[in-house]
Structure 1
Amino acid sequence: MENIMSISGKVKYPITLEPGVWIFDDRRIDLTTYFSNKKEDSNSVEAYTKAVSKHWDREIMEGAIFPPTLKTEKKFEKEKVLTGTFGIPFMPFLLNAEPASDASTLVVQTTNGEYEFTLEKAYGFILGFSINGKPLTSDGPVHVYNGDGTNQENPIKNVTGFTLK
């Protein structure tokens, strides 16, 4: 139960977070490359359309039967999940909690104290939840990174919860 955190305070729906299941979430990001890659503003519909188009083209060229290369790619993805360093954007969780109209501050609660941020800055947070395929047990369950990577070498650790004020 020590890995369970919550988003509470001035929200319509208090939310419980369990980082152990995020490894299966499609929104997970690779933290080893996320902050070093150039950010591209892309439309999610456009990205989806390109992905579907690429898949369709592949089926036309190679057929619907999985060629050996596709099987190898799936094996590589499974291996990456077991050994990767991952995080997940915090924004979807905040949006699902539906902050009150007068909420302006997010307090990150840790075993070492509290950190206050504007709600706008909090929308950009990335929650790191695994390093080298292992959950963050000693100083976790999550590490909080600024979306721009300014605290990449020194994230907020030992997080116990989030409260909106």
Structure 2
Amino acid sequence: MIIQLTGNVNYSITLDPTVWIFDDRKVSFEEAFTFQTTPEATEEDEIRKASEFWDREVYQQKLDPPVNKSISKYDKKKILEGTYVMPIHHFLKNAEIKDEANKALLVTESGDTTITLDELNQSLFLFSQDGKPLNQEGPVHVYFQDGSNKDQPIKGVKKIVID
């Protein structure tokens, strides 16, 4: 249930998605793709969403690592029943990707997938579905922030090799 992040980085790191449920940086799956522009969205809605996203990012950067300090009974129930994704860019920053790197290999049991570093940096890792870790086709599923693979995520990612 762990993911190795290795390759052309200054620091190889090990990710443990089972502990992300306690991390304030997690985002509910429903909210993860709300920052997309829709035709009916007004400029005011877009500004409000961008502001909320910015506030959340600034708040999360102050907490390193951000861990829920206290969880109400309602929040605990919500966490134990929710579906969550984790933005990967926090971990990429810690690994310090070298300047000459330009792509990432996502290693899975069903075959490897190569994506650009920009795609990886904008990726969201699904780690909890209905409050449970992804035991089948896990430990994570990779979704692109733009929602382009929302119906067909990259499943079963076990290792990330930066090249």
Q: TM exceeds 0.5?
A: yes
**Whole-Å Cα distance in 2 between the matches of residues 15 and 46 of structure 1?**
22
Structure 1: stretches of 5+ with no match in the other structure: 49-72
> Which residue matches 2:64?
none
Which residue, out of 104, 107, 115, partners 2:105?
Answer: 107
C-alpha offsets along residues 110-151 of structure 1, whole Å, 9 cap, x if unaligned? 001111111111100000001100110011000000011111
C-alpha offsets along residues 15-63 of structure 1, whole Å, 9 cap, x if unaligned? 1011000000000000023224556323338975xxxxxxxxxxxxxxx
Kindly indicate whether residue 55 of structure 2 is the aligned counterpart of residue 44 of structure 1. Answer: yes
* TM-score normalised over the length of structure 2: 0.79
SS in 1 for 2:4: strand
* TM-score normalised over the length of structure 1: 0.78
SS in 2 for 1:138: coil
Aligned length: 139
**Whole-Å Cα distance in 1 between the matches of residues 86 and 120 of structure 2?**
13
Bigger CA radius of gyration: 1
Question: Residues 103 and 134 from structure 1, CA distance in 2 versus in 1: closer, same or farther, beyond 3 angstroms?
Answer: same
Amino acid at match of 1:116: T
- The root-mean-square deviation of aligned C-alpha atoms, in Å, is 1.9
**Whole-Å Cα distance in 2 between the matches of residues 111 and 21 of structure 1?**
23
Structure 2: stretches of 5+ with no match in the other structure: 37-45, 60-70
State the identity as a percent.
Answer: 40
Alignment of 1:20-59 (within 5 A): 20-36=18-34, 40-42=49-51, 43-44=54-55, 48=59
